[in-house]
Structure 1
Amino acid sequence: MPMQKYRLTWQLAFLILMGSLLSGCGINNIPSYDEQVKSAWAQVENQYQRRADLIPNLVETVKGFARQEQETLTAVVEARARATSIQISADDLDDPVKMQAFEQAQAQLTGALSRLMAVSERYPDLKSNQNFLALQSQLEGTENRIAVARRDYIAAVQQYNTEIRTFPGRIWHSLMYSDMPIRENFEATTENAEQAPQVQFE
């Protein structure tokens, strides 16, 4: 009986030692960093959705003052429809074709919004409308949040990709996580894409 207790104590001590050694050697880094990538991507989508949710009210407000700008308004509505129709799940983050389609749709919406804001310059009553000013401010804030979310996603992808390409992460990747591929990252699809659209008119 004492021998059994002694053996059990040593087995428990061995398991605790192995657990602490493995946790300190980076074995969990790859799945942890992968979860950070997915979380950062969810934040990117969240901010793009926030922007999409602002657009119907913005379009309606502009329409009330500038009905003759139907072509521009229609372009914004159509670009919003395209952008919201492309969804990227966590499983699609390593698919360059899907990522590029998503980025292009969002870039088209950014361009359409920029044109809409430029059009509003011609309508002093619109520019001074409180609802328009509030939406303009929210849109500018959202564009800044999108930029921050994209930056955080890029950093998370860089950390993950670096881990699986360098020692000791490369070893753990080949032994245990070979089904977790290199992640695609954002690439600018339009000139000055890293900058938020200019929406200040003062």
Structure 2
Amino acid sequence: MIAGIIIAAVVAILVIWVIASYNGFIKAKNNVEESFSTMDVYLKKRYDLIPNLVETVKGYAKHETETLNKVISARNMAEGAATMEDKIQGENMLTGTLRSLFAVAENYPDLKANENFMDLQGQLRQVEEDIANARKYYNAVVKLYNNKCEMFPTNILAGLFHFDQKPMFEVETEAERQNVKVEF
């Protein structure tokens, strides 16, 4: 009789733990998805600014079409990415091409003095700050989620219920680790 009560208590505790852990995974997964969606809003804002910025630069730097085309191509690739991993890779490429665009702009003093360019640059600077903050938040919630996926005993449930680790939003090359200069 007492052994039956002890077994029932252990089973009840185990069931409660499984339910609580599963719900914790769902909450963590939803936080990851919400943080990625928030970052995606800022990325969309950046995508919308880039064509205006490119058009402004085009008027001053007509012979820099290769750089301008690379920026637009990188923007389109990042915007059209289907998975988180592709989006992260596309964003890293876009950041590099934007760096090239601002390097081109450095060679044109009239462009640097253009009010429209300065306004677009200021908007882009603000969006880049928002993106950086959203990336920090995304990486923080991904870290919590990934910890649940890897740490014992919740890693057992992660495997059973197919909760897979999520990618961090990291820079991929040493060149991308350099500061993007958007000040003129």
Partner of 1:160: 145
In the TM superposition, residue 194 of structure 1 has moved relative to its aligned partner by 5.3
Partner of 1:31: 26
For residues 199 and 160 of structure 1, do their structure 2 counterparts lie closer, same or farther at Cα, with a shift above 3 Å needed? same
* 2:62 counterpart of 1:70: no
Partner of 1:138: 123
Secondary structure of the residue aligned to 2:162 is coil
Provide the TM-score with structure 2 as the length reference: 0.79
* 2:109 counterpart of 1:109: no
Bigger CA drift: 101-110 or 124-133?
101-110
Separation (CA, whole Å) in 2 of partners of 1:192 and 1:148: 21
Partner of 2:80: 85
In the TM superposition, residue 42 of structure 1 has moved relative to its aligned partner by 0.8
Give me the CA root mean square deviation. 2.5
Q: Number of paired residues?
A: 170
Separation (CA, whole Å) in 1 of partners of 2:123 and 2:48: 11
Partner of 2:7: none
Bigger CA drift: 29-38 or 191-200?
191-200
Gaps of 5+ in 2: 1-12
1:89-136 Cα shifts (integer Å, max 9, x gaps)? xxxx5xxxxx1x433322221111111111111211111111100111
Residue identity in the other structure for 1:151 = K
Provide the TM-score with structure 1 as the length reference: 0.73
Does the 8 Å CA contact 2:74/2:90 hold for their aligned counterparts?
yes
Does the 8 Å CA contact 1:140/1:199 hold for their aligned counterparts?
yes
Partner of 1:199: 182
Q: Tell me which of 81, 104, 110 is aligned to 1:119.
A: 104
Does the 8 Å CA contact 1:26/1:168 hold for their aligned counterparts?
no
Secondary structure of the residue aligned to 1:42 is helix
Secondary structure of the residue aligned to 1:183 is coil
Matching of residues 177-192 of structure 1 within 5 Å = 178-191=161-174
Question: Which structure has the greater CA radius of gyration?
Answer: 1
Partner of 2:135: 150
1:70-100 Cα shifts (integer Å, max 9, x gaps)? 2221221222122222132xxxx5xxxxx1x
Partner of 2:114: 129
Residue identity in the other structure for 1:184 = P
Q: Tell me which of 27, 37, 43 is aligned to 2:38.
A: 43
Separation (CA, whole Å) in 2 of partners of 1:195 and 1:147: 14
Q: Greater helix share, 1 or 2?
A: 2
For residues 151 and 195 of structure 1, do their structure 2 counterparts lie closer, same or farther at Cα, with a shift above 3 Å needed? farther
Sequence identity (%): 38
Gaps of 5+ in 1: 1-17, 94-98
Does the 8 Å CA contact 1:34/1:160 hold for their aligned counterparts?
yes
In the TM superposition, residue 167 of structure 1 has moved relative to its aligned partner by 5.1
